[in-house]
Chain A
Amino acid sequence: MRNGGPDESGAKLVGRMVRFALGVVLALVVVPMVIVVVASVSAGSRLTFPPQGFSLSPYATLLESTVIRAALGRSLIVGLMVVAIGLAVGVPATIALVRYRPRFRIGFGVYLLLGVATPLIATAFAFLVLYTRAGVLGSLWPIALAITVANLPFLMFSVASALTNLDTSLEEAAATLGAESVQTFLFVTLPGMMPGILSGTIMIFVLGISEFLISLLLTTIDSQTLPIAIFASLRGPPPPEFAAAAGIYVVLASLVVITLTSFKTTEQFFYRND
């Protein structure tokens, strides 16, 4: 290839463009996150900028607020339900799709993506009419079911990626060494899939506790989850304890992402080096 002047200046231009885009994107991503965290440790009864001082009082207020505590509790319950349903349903399905290659494999795969392929508002409304008809609005488990449907593929992708990387000869070796299928699964397949299951679990748990639109339509005033409570607070300048609630989400999401990326597999999941 040529190594002329125009290309070299072109290279510099591309480099500069990449850096510029990176800067803009990171600013867009980071600034609101930082502001939430700053606001969550601000003094004063209303959130304004610049803060009138720093204190942990928003978190103290949050702990005192029965409304927020109850909402937080419901969100955690929903998150745990999403994990339980997701694991029970998603892990066997992923193993079946990846390992047993059933007929209509692609068809099954596409069908299980339905929750992602449908705009979230349509998903939410579909569950709304279904649950209205069934008369189960107001409970938490129907919300968890709906959220699981919408987020199941994230768990399945994570598990599938771990399973695909797992050498099938490990399972065959276990068989030659005297392990029948239950023991092969327990002692070889499951430990091999564990990183994928773990990161998938963490991911759908966080997605479950931060889910908004489905909860908005499916919760009643008595079954509000935390994101809905935060939404309700945003009619004017929000009270600081809600900044603390939002701050919890930012910190939690950051911790989770850092944990996930410290698993080698997750980095490989996004950045395969083969």
Chain B
Amino acid sequence: MVAGPSGELGSDSTTPIVELIGAVKRYGEVAAIDNVDLAIRPRELFTLLGPSGSGKTTVLRTIAGLVSLSEGRILIDGVDVRRTPTYERNIGMVFQSLALFPHMTVFDNIAFPLRMRRRGRSEIAGRVKDVLEIVRLPDIAERRVQELSGGQQQRVALARSLVYDPKLLLLDEPLGALDRQLREEMQLEIVRLHREIDVTIINVTHDQVEALILSDRIGVMQEGRIVQVGTSEEIYSRPSTRFVAEFMGRANVIDGTARLDGTRSWVETDGGVAIEVAELDSALVDKPCAAVVRAEDIEIHAVGASPGEESTGLSGTVMLRAFEGETVYYEIEVTGIGRSLKVAARVGAFDPGEPVRVAWDTNRVTVVRMDDRAGI
């Protein structure tokens, strides 16, 4: 073998199975996806997370070839697929509506991709039987699709897109329409399938809990752009933008300006309150930014019971209390930070109207840059 440029690509495990490079899709003036760069690693379960209209489904559809890019490239297994039509991409996709063929039986639905590949009758029968066992639905092959329950239909749709062993499985919010219990059951099912089968999964959802549970990595999308890519842990604890912080759940996003003075760094709000932070990206100094404090990281103390010196202490007033089972949810108005703080506390001893002090560990505060675009 001649050592060539291909040697520089490194081992197979690091070659992305899907790669988007500068991908843009415009509908008229509007960019549904805007300069997206994304690399999906083989065998990972990657989730595209974002609110509706953020372009996550469009990304998925461009990978499937159902939508063609206005600019940029998509590589699947290192090959540019611009000229490869959907039906030759050998991709499995489960649609939001599931798109099971209503005029066919379960067997015919699952056999469809095998028939399109002109497999023989005996092979088809065997494979359909096997895949139905994998999704734990034996003995329903002859039923009509409409006779199945919602969960069964989900499994049939999964079986149909797995039966031909695609390397890549795309999930376009197929769990969105299910009730909570069934959704959680199917989430675990997907995790199990991913563990058992050699397949890369790209999942699209607007449900951050689902994303956190399922994913090896998450890409958060906002207005057609990918704003952060990382593991569940990274995205949750260290959001990189204000939008990600707000979208990932109960976070207090306090706008202000980053300040650095010697070893001390803090975010100064317009109201003059200083939020101490442990770390500060030097690029942000004296720029508008936001301090993010998660609701569960805040402690509430009665006035007088003074907290330790290393914590930030701010005084405020309880505005709202709601019992939530494991935690008690408070909204506490603190003067000078522009909004009331959301707090998920373990104790419920404070009444609305009561003056309190709130404090948190400065290590738990993240400073994020403001979003590129106004709007959120």
Contacts and interface: CB of A to CB of B under 8 A. Distances in A.
A and B touch in the complex (CB under 8 A): yes
A175 B87 contact: yes
Contacts of B66: 172, 175-176
Interface stretch (A99-107, A118-126, A184-192): A184-192
Interface residues of A, number: 18
A176 B93 contact: yes
B93 to A, nearest CB: 4
B64 interface: yes
Given A178-B90, A178-B113, A180-B85, A172 B103 contact: no
A172 B63 CA distance: 13
Interface string B46-67: 0000000000000000001110
Contacts of A188: 101
B112 interface: yes
A191 B109 CA distance: 14
A179 to B, nearest CB: 5
A96 interface: no
Contacts of B113: 177-178
A74 B91 CA distance: 54
A180 B85 CA distance: 8
Contacts of B103: 191-192, 194
Given A176-B86, A178-B90, A167 B97 contact: yes
B97 A169 contact: yes
Contacts of A179: 87, 112, 116
Contacts of B112: 174, 177, 179, 187
B99 to A, nearest CB: 4
Interface in B143-174: 160-161, 164, 170
A187 B103 CA distance: 10
Contacts, number: 63
Nearest to B108: A187
Contacts of A194: 103
Contacts of B95: 169, 172-173
Contacts of A67: none
A178 B96 contact: no
* Range class of the B interface residue count: 20 to 34
Nearest to B94: A173
Nearest to B113: A177
A167 B97 CA distance: 9
Contacts of B96: 169
Contact of A170 (B87, B91, B93, B101): B101
A137 B56 CA distance: 62
A183 interface: yes
Interface string B156-199: 00001100100000100000000000000000000000000000
A180 B88 CA distance: 8
A29 B160 CA distance: 52
Nearest to A192: B103
Interface in A140-184: 167, 169-170, 172-180, 183
Interface in A236-267: none
Most buried by A among B88, B91, B112, B164: B112
B97 A177 contact: no
B121 interface: no
Interface of A: 167, 169-170, 172-180, 183, 187-188, 191-192, 194
Interface of B: 64-66, 85-93, 95-97, 99, 101-103, 112-113, 116-117, 160-161, 164, 170
Given A173-B99, A175-B86, A176-B161, 4 more contacts: A169-B96, A176-B86, A176-B89, A177-B87
18 contacts: A169-B97, A172-B64, A172-B99, A173-B99, A173-B101, A175-B86, A176-B64, A176-B66, A176-B91, A176-B161, A177-B164, A178-B116, A179-B87, A183-B116, A188-B101, A191-B101, A192-B102, A194-B103
In the complex, the 5 A-B pairs of residues with the closest C-beta atoms, listed nearest first = A173-B99, A178-B116, A177-B113, A175-B86, A176-B93
